[in-house]
Structure 1
Amino acid sequence: MKIPFEFSSDEARNKWLLYHYLKKSYTDICIDDKKAEELTDERILENSKNLFGYHGLAWQLGQISLEFFCMYFMQDIYLPKEDNAAAPLATVHEELWHDIQESVIGTGPEQLGRVLPRGIGKSAFGTLGPACWCVAYKHKTYVLICSDIGSTAEKFIKDIKDNMIDNQYIEQAFGKLLDDKNRDFICNATQLEFINHTFVEAISSTSPMRGRKYKNVRPDLIVLDDYQSEDDCRTNEAREKKWKRYSDDVKFAKQRPLRRNGKIVKKGTVLMAWGTQQHKECFYSRLIKTATWTFKKEKGILVDDVINEEGQKENGVDHLFNNGLWEEFKNILCNFKNDKRLDDAKEFYYQHELEMQFPMLWSEFWTCLELALDYYENPNSFKQEVQGDVDSIGEKWFKQMHTESRKEIESHEFIKTMICADPASSGGKKNDYSAFLVGSEATNGYKYARKAELAKINARQEFDKYIEHMIKLLVEYPEATHISIEKNTFNGADANQLEKAIKDHETLKYRNITIINEMQKKNKDDKISTIVPFVNRGEFVFCSEDEDFINQFMDFAGQNYTPHDDADDVAAEFWLKIDEIKTLNKILLLDKKSFGL
């Protein structure tokens, strides 16, 4: 629904909202348009003295319409105005609100779920507005919101508090619902007790749900909002652990329906879940297949898979962004020799904007250009996060790479240079070489892998050879000021031996070389994922002669799907570490005689 902007006042806008949604309440129950208008006019005339006041017509309509409640009582979030950043509603939001409304006060399912793209507003539309609606009308007494981490849970409470307290529209129609200065009511970072004796609590997914009560009432609305984290999806053990927590804990925190004489007089706990699939066997992937849940899955770009010229099935967005005008756009964007390639690509888009449009889930807010740029930065991540395509997991992460010859690379002016080493130390074919990278940041803002190699050195078996190789690189690149060695393998022994070898070297002993020797605690997939957009955009440049390193690097598809990750790991280490190096500005001292003094 599009809201007109050209209102003479807030009062006029509010009356328009009231009329529109009151009429919609009639048409939704199959009353024809003309009759709905008559009934709407009659109802407004009957309540003309109390349209927006205490328990007035707006209050009555909000009780049966979640959408009206959000659009009027929480209009600073959901209603586009000249002075806010709210975007027009999409059909997906209206459908979500309708389904939530039916589950809470109608005959809808008690277990309702959505798998939705990132950026669609899952929390705002699925959790914030509905939670406020439920407690304002006491549709639910105890609302429990559960998310992956505690800080996210605390943000839910803050958002609910900020939008319920001192809200002129709510206070005018409901009276005061929340008073954070009244000590008789709970109000802290994770809990809110309202004056009408309803309660909202937000917890992390690691906190138990069983046994929680408010005034002897179990949670009667439980929302699992992004219930899983990346760590919960990373390994099979983690995925099983998350599913077991849900099975052993969440399901038993529910209040069963109250039946009398065989009839349900009070609905049981409504359980809702919003999230994004992150693996074929992650929590949401399992939940969507569960027969007792009613789930819908939406994708951001509304295109289907296609059969390509070879007769093979091709992902719809891959086909979209690698053919026709979008392929021309991509070629301009990936012309790494053009410093203005992004501007030129945008100009190409604006010249062909009408022909390059494609259907989107939230076309009122998203743009084709923005989605395309997100895709080209990291296609696999895009297909997973925006399209809900878990089949893309296991595909290669890097789609293109900017390379230059070593001669071209060395023609740049460098600001700082460092060497990174990833020693191989255990036996087996997977660990028969060590990875080394000499990298620099240039004045043009790009980072260059000036020399990247996979040396046939097993550091544990050939320790001296490993140390000698690092000395050789330091000599070859006299501008290198730092060398980074991961501490996990030798717990600092190699750093100590390298330091001794530098002191004993005839030229290196005069250089100020800093050895960085730190434990690598960050997950490799997380670390490598940070460089994907920069490699795909050509801001991380590699040497075309380093073919073995490049081939291994470009084959990376995640730890679980890649036999060798040494090249990617050492490249990511350089990218992250080079930013930590501080450069010293050189001061040029001039003789005062040169100024005629």
Structure 2
Amino acid sequence: MMTNEDNILGMNRDDIKLLLSQCFLSTKVSAKILFPDRFYLPFSSLHDTIFKILDDDSIQLALIIAPRGFGKTSSVNLAYPAKKILFQEKKFIVPISCTATQATMQGENLKRELLSNRLITSLFGPMKSDTFSKEMWVTSTGTAVMPRGAGQQVRGILYKDNRPDLIIVDDLEDGESVRSDEQRAKTKAWFFEDVLNSINRSRKDWKIIVIGTLLHEDSLLANLLEDPGWYHAHLSICDENFSSNWPDFMSDDDIKRLVDQYRRMNLLDSFYREYMGVPIAKESAKFQQNMFKYYEETDTDFVSNRKKLENLVILDPAKTSKVTSDDTAIIGVGVDVKTPRIYVRDIVKGNLHPDEQYTACFDMADRIGARVIGIEVTSLNEFITYPLRTEMIRQKRYYDIVELKARASKEERIEALVPFYRMGFVYHNRNVSGVLEQQLLSFPRSKKDDVMDALAYVVEMLELGERYFIPAEDGKDIEDEYKDLKEDDYGSDTLKPIENWRFI
């Protein structure tokens, strides 16, 4: 029986030239003609987006986020570099992956096709040269391929007089590496400092393609997705209703069955990451949109009860004494232990200098009528506490300062808010809470967590102040009930204030 290869090889010379010219102009055609066993399904319109990026030489920085099983690696790490090698369009290709082993494997897959693919050897001749090791190999047409793993030497590498003119970064991050702030920062630093500086910027014939799955809101891919200097393709196997974007690969029913399977295993967030390019599934997020309750400062009910609130301000300063470091978050909260309710009344967030932090705290305290300011002192006790008290005295604005110490990890602190939201105790000021909600909905994979971490300290503040949500009875306020209990035990003498939180 005649195969597709036999049919092509049986064509006359002119027809073969025409076919090869079509392959030269289109990676999509090259994939179908040269690698029919790999690309046996019809392409979808989403694949056309990928091929457009590959074939447009004016796009030098490209980011492709696509679902698992979509063929992105086969398209970008096989068909595309093979085409560039066969038609002698690139001199030095560097495939990069999360490990050297993975990068070498991708390079070996490409090498094997060039050596053993019957169509390639018949149409283009033998590709092997004297330099053909796993670490680096050179084709008979003069193109060098050097696979690299994350963190390996890339900057400054040369093949003869050529810097890399095609870099393909495939799955540089994995689930483990994106969990650590330090590892994410390390990956980004290596990519921007080494990978992006390995090409010859005086020329215009280079191209860098990054492909992968979005694993975290502060991952390298997420940062590149926000960079207007990169051409983006953010693809999903289905829409939000789980309708397939590639029916030839997976039907609507196939996708819904897969979703149900992930849901039963309590791994729906994995489905969203792997198949839809979303860092976390909304259905399995700790904080759900339907948990959020709202109010406005002008609401009649709020205005009538405002005098009963105990108000406080919480400052979560940047985690280093450098004045240009991470964002500072300041949050104003009103507490009604009788209702019970926690009102998120005000939020200030930004890269503030220390003196700006102090003034912003004082201003917020005055706006909401707070007499207590809580400050996180995990790593900056000397840096923040003494200057804050000094500035308070200098400005003649006096508040009780409560030092808040991290008694658990940041993730555990924030997660402690979940019961309060689930029970409907927390109310957001509709006019200021957008940044807080964005962080909560993405937790624990939020790119930023400063505001929600500041709010999380309200739990410690309430505990230090011995404020507990106990419904009032007999028309008495909670404070009246505490007073009655204390008088029964100790008489009517004036009570001493709580040591760490005198009053709110």
Any stretches of 5+ residues in structure 1 without a counterpart?
Answer: 1-6, 19-46, 81-86, 180-184, 259-266, 303-315, 321-357, 400-524, 526-556, 564-597
Match of 1:61 in 2: 22
Query: Counterpart of 2:119 in structure 1: which amino acid?
Result: Y
- Deviations, residues 40-81 of structure 1 (Å, cap 9, x unaligned): xxxxxxx944433xxx33333322222222211222322x3x
Q: Is the 8 A contact 1:209 1:249 kept in 2?
A: yes
Mapped to 1, the partners of 2:180 and 2:282 lie a distance apart of 13
- Deviations, residues 512-562 of structure 1 (Å, cap 9, x unaligned): xxxxxxxxxxxxx9xxxxxxxxxxxxxxxxxxxxxxxxxxxxxxx869999
Q: What is the aligned counterpart of 2:4 among 10, 22, 35?
A: 10
Q: Is the 8 A contact 1:116 1:275 kept in 2?
A: yes
Mapped to 2, the partners of 1:123 and 1:245 lie a distance apart of 22
**Does 1:294 find its partner at 2:231?**
yes
Structure 1 vs Structure 2 CA RMSD? 3.1
Q: What is the aligned counterpart of 1:120 among 54, 59, 70?
A: 70
Q: What is the aligned counterpart of 1:219 among 154, 160, 164?
A: 164
**Does 1:379 find its partner at 2:263?**
no
Match of 1:244 in 2: 189
What secondary structure sits across from 2:146 in the alignment?
A: strand
What secondary structure sits across from 1:371 in the alignment?
A: helix
Q: Is the 8 A contact 2:67 2:237 kept in 1?
A: yes
The Cα of 1:204 is off from its aligned counterpart by 0.7
Which gives a bigger RCO, structure 1 or 2 (Cα 8 Å, sep 6+)? 2
- Percent of aligned positions with the same letter in both sequences? 18
Any stretches of 5+ residues in structure 2 without a counterpart?
Answer: 289-410, 412-442, 457-504
Query: Counterpart of 1:67 in structure 2: which amino acid?
Result: K
Match of 2:139 in 1: 194
- Deviations, residues 367-414 of structure 1 (Å, cap 9, x unaligned): 3343223322221211222112225389458x9xxxxxxxxxxxxxxx
**Does 1:100 find its partner at 2:45?**
no
Mapped to 2, the partners of 1:274 and 1:296 lie a distance apart of 9
Query: Counterpart of 1:283 in structure 2: which amino acid?
Result: L
Q: What is the aligned counterpart of 2:99 among 149, 168, 174?
A: 149
CA gap of 1:173–1:394, structure 2 versus 1, over 3 A, is: same
Match of 1:365 in 2: 249
Query: Counterpart of 2:254 in structure 1: which amino acid?
Result: E
Q: What is the aligned counterpart of 2:281 among 392, 395, 402?
A: 392
Q: Is the 8 A contact 1:190 1:201 kept in 2?
A: yes
CA gap of 1:62–1:250, structure 2 versus 1, over 3 A, is: same
What secondary structure sits across from 1:76 in the alignment?
A: coil
CA gap of 1:77–1:291, structure 2 versus 1, over 3 A, is: same
Q: Could you state the TM-score of these two structures normalised by the residue count of structure 1?
A: 0.45
CA gap of 1:75–1:178, structure 2 versus 1, over 3 A, is: farther
The Cα of 1:12 is off from its aligned counterpart by 8.2
The Cα of 1:217 is off from its aligned counterpart by 0.5
Q: Is the 8 A contact 1:394 1:558 kept in 2?
A: no
Match of 1:168 in 2: 118
Q: Is the 8 A contact 1:279 1:390 kept in 2?
A: yes
What secondary structure sits across from 2:56 in the alignment?
A: helix
Q: Is the 8 A contact 2:95 2:107 kept in 1?
A: no
Q: What is the aligned counterpart of 1:228 among 149, 154, 173?
A: 173
Mapped to 2, the partners of 1:164 and 1:11 lie a distance apart of 15
- Deviations, residues 128-159 of structure 1 (Å, cap 9, x unaligned): 11011111111111010101112211211121
Work out the number of aligned pairs and report it.
291
Query: Counterpart of 1:372 in structure 2: which amino acid?
Result: K
Pairing of 1:72-111 with structure 2 (within 5 A): 72-78=33-39, 80=40, 87-103=41-57, 108-111=58-61
Pairing of 1:389-538 with structure 2 (within 5 A): 389-390=278-279, 392=281, 395-396=284-285
CA gap of 1:367–1:151, structure 2 versus 1, over 3 A, is: farther
Mapped to 2, the partners of 1:558 and 1:112 lie a distance apart of 28
CA gap of 1:369–1:394, structure 2 versus 1, over 3 A, is: closer
